[in-house]
Amino acid sequence: MGFGSNVYAESNAFDGIAAAKVLSVFKGTAITAKNNLMDGAPADLVAAYNAANGTSLGADAGWTPTLFTRIHPPQAVRLLVAGAGAGRLR
């Protein structure tokens, strides 16, 4: 997150990385992060980042997305992106 950015991160799934390392902050002050999973378990990314870095990153980006068709549950991400990414061509 950079200076002046307003990031809204919902229903993401991360594997093999610590929750505290998912966010990169470059002078940003807040992010809305909800319904995210770390290695299959619910995770509070903002709290993890703040605890690891001794910061007080805010948990409200100040907006909510309105232009979307569907938000898949984070448990479905692995199946939905199977085969995607560099070196994963079939």
Rounded to whole angstroms, the Cα distance separating 47 from 38 reads: 13
Examine residue 86 and state whether it is found in any structural domain, yes or no: no
Domain assignment of residue 46, yes or no:
yes
Q: Which domain holds residue 42?
A: 7-80
Q: Are 10 and 34 in contact (CB under 8 A)?
A: yes
**pTM of the shown model:** 0.82
Asked whether residue 2 is domain-assigned, the answer is no
Strand 36-38 and strand 41-43: pairing? antiparallel
Predicted local distance difference test score (pLDDT) of residue 88: 55
Paired residues of 36 in beta bridges: 43
- Sign of the alpha-carbon torsion through 82, 85, 88, 89: positive
pLDDT tens digits, one per residue of 35-72: 999 999 999 999 999 999 999 999 999 999 999 999 99
Residue 88 within a domain: no
pLDDT of res. 89:
53
Count up the domains in the chain and report the number.
1
